[in-house]
Amino acid sequence: MRRTVFLSLLCASSVAAADDKLGDGVSVRDALTYKNLSLIPLVTDKAPKTGDFLVLDEGMDKGLVVVNEKGQGGSVNQLSLENRADKPLFLMAGEVVLGGQQDRIIGRDTIIPPKKRQDVPVFCVEHGRWSGDKRFHAGKALAHTKLRNEANYGGQGQVWQEVADKNKKRGETNDTDTYRRVAEKTEKDATAYITYFTAALRGVAGADKMVGWGVAVNGKVIAVEQFGAPALYRKMEGKLLRSYVLQAVDEPNDAKAKPPVAKDVVTFAAQEKEAKPETAVDAPAAKARTYHLSGKGFKGSKVESTDESKQEIYKSLQAH
């Protein structure tokens, strides 16, 4: 009888342990919730295998990343990015660059190798302008989550429609139907969210080893954002947080919704196992490849190394 009870407890303990693990040493912590938005921290207990990466804002501020229109007349859906740094440049779909002929957002999670110039897919987020001095500066922003997804998995028509819809929700009208005003119009509503989560994330046990979060709105998990190393996560945390806040402020707030638990995140992330890669784009000198994934009810993007380790540099899974 005692042996049976012991085995039952052991099995129950094993199941419980599995419920808060994503694999490869990543643990799922308790949800942090403000109004309708929950972030469920992901913390690693392993040393990162990926190297150091430059990110867009950092690179443009230091003059290590130069963004230009492609060719003499420019191209709506491509920009030329030059990485002058000695380390690879990480780009996330939805990152905003302002100026040029039109404001744009990056169209795919990708990596540009050191000392390389590369044409990058982008989408216009300023429908009514095609003029300017062709100089770009960092927008220091990541588009709200739905617009990010339209950039990553949709097309220019869907991007323009989402920009128009978001401007309408924010009560914003302007001559060029530009997206850049959305952040300004949302600042008042977003501040309380950002203040809460910035402090709460710093208070997570093992915060220095955080690599991302699960994301839920009104208790339902809608995404998992996971980086291969804490250093890259920390560089992107602020922009990624604001992206989800910009989405959440226009969603209803169900006061009766229960915050998600770790098992909800693990179950959502497990969908990746059923997906097959849709596309693969190499960045040879950076030894990295970007995959698009799709499955029943979700889409995903994954950037991983092409060496034997197949180390994930970044992964985003989104309910769709």
% pLDDT > 70, the chain: 90
H or E element in which residue 184 lies = helix 180-202
> Tens digits of per-residue pLDDT, 240-280?
999 999 999 999 999 999 999 999 999 999 999 888 778 77
CA angle centred on 301, ends 121 and 137, rounded to 5° = 40
- What's the predicted TM-score (pTM) here? 0.89
The span from the CA of 242 to the CA of 96, in Å, is 13
Q: What is the pLDDT of residue 282?
A: 79
> Tens digits of per-residue pLDDT, 282-317?
788 888 999 999 888 889 999 999 887 788 999 999
Q: How confident is the model at residue 1 (pLDDT cuts 50, 70, 90)?
A: very low
Q: Give the 3-state secondary structure of residue 218.
A: coil
Exposure string for 36-72, b = 16+ CB within 10 A, e = fewer: bbbbbbbbbeeebebbebbbbbbbbeeebbebebbee
The span from the CA of 274 to the CA of 58, in Å, is 36
